Amino acid sequence: MKFRKLVKSGVGALALVSAGAAAQDPDSTAQGDVSVTIYNGDLAVVQDVRSLDIASGRSTIAFPDVSARIRPETLSFVADGAGIVEQNFDFDLLTPTKLMEKAIGQTVTLVRTNPATGAETRERAEVLSTAGGVVVRIGDRIEVLRDDGLPTRVVFDEVPPNLRARPTLSVTVESARAGRRPAAIRYLTPGLGWSADYVALFDDQRGTIDMQGWVTLTNTTGTTFHSADTLLVAGNPNNRGSRRSGNPGMVRPGTQTAERERLGDFYLYPLAERTTIANAQTKQVGFLDATAISANKQYARMVGWLDTDRQPQPVDSRIQFNTSRDGGLGDALPAGTIRFYQRDSQGNPQFIGENGIGHTPMGSLLQLDTGTAFDVYVQAEVEDREKIDSGEWRRAAQYKVFRDGEEFERVDVERPIEYWQTIMRYTLTNARSEPVTVQLVQDGLGGGNFWRDWRLVSEDVPGEQANAERRVWQVTVPANGERVVRATFQTRY
């Protein structure tokens, strides 16, 4: 059967018609039983099992409706009694522009309509070029088809054999027998991705959050996958598009195993029902619903070493919770964004901030910043800094000079050790009608690789050493009040 194409002046809308045939259902598909496994990082495995008549000997089987971004080198073909000999992927899709390009050197029919009378005239024309416009030869004259709104159509006798209406994979197989049987193809493709999105309702009075998790699916493959059995994989497999990602909100990684199926080092999140993943579509499917998760609100400020604030700085507002079973959540969380809400005095949930998480094992402690506080400030200042003379000298380096394999000269270099004593003053203010506790962190104490010798001489509030770089204090600031905290350090810088 031959098809005819109607194109408005070479650049307009394309209509596909077949003599005596009804229009094709846009939702129809040649796909069979489709399974899709989607990884983080723009990668998916597609498996499509179709029931096909396979001839005996060598034949070619066409698989329309594969991903337009298929990685052909990853293809596998399985059919009982048949083996693959060759494969071709036809990704040159049928468009008005492509149709004109493929018609260069061919003869088409121009249909012109008289605007006054409605009468049509037809002329045969040879397509010469499509660079910057369509140039045709009609008899002994050359004409440029212009997109000037005049009723002119270009009629093509048939579809060029190397143009496809849909992405199509052609497989040449050798079969020992003829007959209808299942034939499966499996391949990798970019363009299918997923991420997790979480909606968390925080109750400050009860100290809990209710959380729902949504899987957000995106499809930019150029193909719709119909009624697909969909499996999501949380993890980062090595592939040419993957990269390592961190989890800055994780204070302590969990040590509990989630009750989910695992594949190697990945967690699997199967969708409960088959779903159609339409091309150029974003779809959300629920996968988590947990209530009364233990949580608390925190205020925090990290101060760099020797920082002096010219003006008070608002503290960070954050929400802390645990993904452990005892904490009320009890699941591993795929990477995504958590959006926090809190009810106002009318009982309506209002957005209070969001933050991203990486892949989070069950039992992890998370502290996620949601914004900066309106009423709580900290001003850090170097109140006093003076040099302490140790009165000691230390040999810092020794150089040896060799000649002919023997020591010729030795040079000893000495330098004095200088010590500094610094008093840091932190002024915390609270305009709220209730007391608040601020996690105050002094950073930069370790000095990187340049100096690590330091001492804490005194502190107004007992603190904890988080690591070699940071000293942490929990400072309670009275309601509608102010509190000043000092710490004295002795350092070599």
Give residue-wise pLDDT tens across range 93-102.
Answer: 556 777 777 7
Q: Domain map of the chain by residue range?
A: 31-93+163-189, 192-293, 294-387+416-491
Q: List 485's β-bridge partners, or say none.
A: 426
Tokens of 127: 């397509």
Rg (CA), the chain: 35
pLDDT digits (tens, 9 = 90+) for 291-303: 999 999 999 999 9
pLDDT value of position 24: 44
Judge whether 313 and 329 are in contact, CB under 8 Å. no
CATH-assigned architecture of domain 31-93+163-189: Sandwich (2.60)
Q: Round to whole Å and give the CA distance between 197 and 174.
A: 47
Burial 349-371 (b: 16+ CB within 10 A, else e): eeebbbbebbbbbbbbbbbbbbe
**Does the structure show a pLDDT above 70 at 451?**
no
Q: Which residue has the higher pLDDT, 64 or 313?
A: 313
Q: Round to whole Å and give the CA distance between 69 and 72.
A: 9
pLDDT value of position 117: 80
| pLDDT-above-70 percentage for the chain | 82
pLDDT value of position 130: 82
The reply to whether the predicted model has a pTM over 0.75 is no
**Does the structure show a pLDDT above 80 at 150?**
no
20 by Cβ neighbours in 10 Å (0-12 / 13-18 / 19+) ranks as exposed
**Does the structure show a pLDDT above 80 at 8?**
no
Tell me which H or E stretch contains 96.
Answer: helix 96-102
**Does the structure show a pLDDT above 60 at 261?**
yes
pLDDT value of position 65: 87
